[in-house]
Structure 1
Amino acid sequence: MTDRSTQSRGKGSAARARTGMSPGAAATIAAFASLLTCYVGVALEAFFGIKGMALNPHLQAVLMWMLAFVATAFVFRDRERHGSALPLLIAGLANIVLLATLYFHYDHRFEALAYVLLIIATLMNQNLLLQVLNRKVRSQTVEISELNAQLANKVERQAGQIGRLERLKEFLAPQIAQAVVDGGRENLLSTHRRYIACLFCDIRNFTALSEALDPEDVIDILQRYHDRCGALAAASGGTIGFRSGDGLMIYFNDPIPCEAPVLDAVKLALDIRREFAEICAPWRRMGHVLGIGLGISSGHATMGLVGREGRADYTAVGGVVNVASRLCDAAAQDEILISQRAFMDVEDHLSADPVGGLKLKGFANPVEAYRVLSTNDPVAN
């Protein structure tokens, strides 16, 4: 019942908006129509000089009180909107006086009093409705102001997020930077320790190639190499630690955790090797010796921002990074070397050959390593 009442009021408001009728105007119009019916003969003679146009007295009386009742009905309906019963009481009294003077004892003074009361009731009703409308407009104005303030705050927060996102994208994979900003977790970039898988790769014989090719061709190779490696790293959830000429470091499990960081690093290494083979194909057909070497290790590293204000990299520091870098240096053309600890994390998921203990620069003891052949996932090979 409440819903139907609300819908009816809503439809009535919409109808009044379409016709341009002000609130309470229907009651006022009906009241003045009744008054005009009462004095139509007098008005025609006074303003237009027309005589003998009076209505049948019985018909005139019926029209007078019917229109007065219509005005009162509109006042009764509007009472729910403005919440005051006073206009209805005055209109009801006007109807009683009008009926009494029409059918019991006619007195033009009481007839005039009835219309004065009826007009007062309808005008009061209209005024109360306008007050309600005015309060509603003021309330909506306050709500709109609050919504505008909320919208301004939201825009300001989003602008800040966009600024932080652009800054994070300088050294994080785009989807990782977005996750950090969306989650409000910029504290993830503060210095901390984390178990990671680290991947290094660089181009073999790049110095000789730079001397043999035009600078524009060298730049083209580097650009395609970094574009494809960056896209592959982003797709796999890796974070680029740094780029340096033909060298690239990518690590997994920070700042966003992943379930199998070493396996993700191995799959990325296979993808990079396959992509770089396509880049090198035209140059190899021309007789240039060109390939890539990759090294993977795992372990705990210290993570954080390194650099200065305005140009800092989020990177990893520690033995795991050094091992991956040295394995990359030791790798032959198109070879992927993985440390023993990293191999133990994924030995059930890949095929690899042991290469024994490698004497790596900066390490007193030989480092056990394996040559990655393939994974058990045929798509990644």
Structure 2
Amino acid sequence: MHDPPRILAVDDTPENLEILRMRLEANGYEVVTAADGEEGLGKARDLTPDLILLDIMMPKLDGISAVRMLKQDLSLRSIPVILVTAKADTRDVVEGLDAGGDDYLTKPFEHQALLARVRSMLRQKALHDTVASQAVQLSDWNRSLEQTLAEQVIEIERMGRLRRFLPEQVADLILAAGNGDTLLQSHRREVTVVFCDLRGFTAFAETAEPEEVMAVLGEYHACLGEQIVRYEGTLERFVGDGIVVVFNDPLPCADHTERAVRMAAAMRDAIDEHSEQWRKRDHLLGFGIGIARGHATIGRIGFDQRADYAVIGTVSNHAARLCEEARPRQILVSQRVVGAVESLVESVAVGELTLKGFRRPMPAYEIVRWIGRPS
């Protein structure tokens, strides 16, 4: 709706147009006039009035033909039309209403009747405009909702990928930064890798019932998972009873080796409680850990339907081989690891170990306990 409402008056009699113009303008309406049906159609298309007063009997294009053409035009059909006719032309009124007219007014104009019909038609136009505006807004909302839902689906997929590897708080931080996919692309970085598994698990799995094996694995994974989340490690993979945790990727942290060693010590203490319960169930299971520090190539590997986060390099193998050598409750670490945390731990040199896949013996150390920084 225009403000003030715009009314188009179409009549081939100048006196009638003048009467309409004066009465309507006196009541605050904007009035535009046309002398015949063709001119009226043109001005309707150009000016999009809020209401049309249309005389039926006109040269060139009569009012009934004009209203029919107005209602066939999608851009004009919502404009209400009041047909103007003489009292005796009831057949014209019926035909005009059938053609699409919304109301009629007889000549000579009765002032109050004219204003009442104009107000009534303008209320209808305002209601139509409100509904049309709401429909457009609803359509925009639907498009926005569809886009939002699509973005949320993508975000959920990204969250799912990240939370397969990362503690929830780390995954949330990466997603909030908006660079989760970038951080999982292949790159090179120095990391600390923790490899841990159960001593005696193979023999246990060969003799125990499958349900019991899965129950023990569930308890074991839940126990260690709490510590991985607590120290904000990145879970690289499960390998049966083996678990690989990475620190300093995808989010860098300056104290990554400290975190790794502290987590390993906490894991050992947490597993002690389970070990006692397992012994009562006649499951002889120990727990060993190996930790190494070094550079690796890191990123997502796999294909469209299945992808994993992987740490590729000798540092992973080093941690795995140290874990193989570890006795129950023993934490074996590389020389670079002990060098990074020497003042924070009680450690013992265990000598040089011949590790599978390494050409020369590698020095190793046992972390007896975590001391921490002096207060």
TM range (shorter): 0.5 to 0.7
Instruction: Tell me the equivalent position of 1:165.
Output: 159
Q: 2:300 aligns with which of 302, 305, 324?
A: 305
Residues 308 and 125 of structure 1: CA distance in aligned 2, closer, same or farther (over 3 Å): closer
> What CA deviation, in whole Å up to 9, does each residue of 1:113-167 have, x standing for no partner?
9x93244234434433443443333222212211110101111221232234334
Give the structure 1 partner of residue 247 of structure 2: 252
Alpha-carbon displacement from aligned partner over 1:13-66 (angstroms, at most 9, x marks no partner): xxxxxxxxxxxxxxxxxxxxxxxxxxxxxxxxxxxxxxxxxxxxxxxxxxxxxx
Partner residue in 2 for 1:145? 139
Residue 195 of structure 2: which of 184, 189, 200 is its match?
Answer: 200
- Structure number with larger C-alpha Rg: 1
* Deviation readout 1:336-359 (Å, 9 max, x if unpaired): 122221223233433323333333
The superposition leaves residues 237-267 of structure 1 with CA deviations (integer Å, 9 ceiling, x where unpaired) of 2222221222111111212233421122112
Which residue in the other structure is 2:103 paired with? none
Seen in structure 2, the aligned counterparts of structure 1 residues 91 and 328 have a Cα distance that, compared at 3 Å, is closer
Structure 2 equivalent of residue 295 of structure 1: 290
User: Which sits farther off after the overlay, 186-195 or 256-265?
Assistant: 256-265
Amino acid at match of 2:229: A
| CA displacement at 1:172 relative to structure 2 | 4.3
Q: Distance in 2 between matches of 1:116 and 1:241?
A: 88
- Normalised by the size of structure 2, how large is the TM-score? 0.65
Where do residues 102-141 of structure 1 align in structure 2 (5 Å cutoff)? 116-141=110-135
Which residue of the partner structure matches residue 362 of structure 1? Answer: 357
CA gap 1:295/1:118 in 2 versus in 1, 3 angstroms: same
How many percent identity over aligned positions?
36
Q: In structure 1, how many angstroms separate the alpha carbons of the residues matched to 2:344 and 2:123?
A: 78
Q: Quote the residue 2:222 is aligned against.
A: 227
- State whether structure 2 residue 340 is matched by structure 1 residue 345: yes
Answer yes or no: is the 8 Å Cα contact 1:302–1:316 preserved in 2.
yes
2:326 paired with 1:331? yes
Tell me the residue number matched to 1:105.
Answer: none
Superimposed CA distance per residue, residues 100-121 of structure 1 (whole angstroms, 9 cap, x where no aligned partner) = xxxxxxxxxxxxx9x9324423
Task: Give structure 1 stretches of 5+ with no counterpart.
Answer: 1-78, 93-112
Q: Secondary structure at the match of 1:237?
A: coil
Looking at structure 1, the residues matched to 152 and 224 of structure 2 have their Cα atoms a distance apart, in angstroms, of 30
> Which of 342, 364, 375 matches 2:370?
375
SS of alignment partner, residue 110 of structure 2: helix
Judging by fraction of residues, say which structure has more helix. 1
Relative to its length, the structure with more strand (as a share) is 2
RMSD after superposition = 3.3
> In 2 relative to 1, CA 301–87 (structure 1 residues): closer, same or farther, beyond 3 Å?
farther
In the alignment, residue 145 of structure 2 is paired with which amino acid? L
Which 10-residue stretch deviates more, 115-124 or 143-152?
A: 115-124
Query: Where does 1:57-76 land on structure 2 (aligned, <5 Å)?
Result: none
Query: Structure 2: which 5+ residue stretches go unaligned?
Result: 8-20, 29-106
| CA distance 1:330–1:239, shift in 2 (3 Å) | same
> In 2, Cα distance between the equivalents of 1:375 and 1:158?
43
Question: 1:161 is aligned with what amino acid?
Answer: E
Task: Tell me which residue corresponds to 2:279.
Answer: 284
Other structure's SS at 1:347 match: helix
For normalisation by structure 1, the TM-score amounts to 0.64
Out of 149, 155, 162, the position equivalent to 1:155 is 149
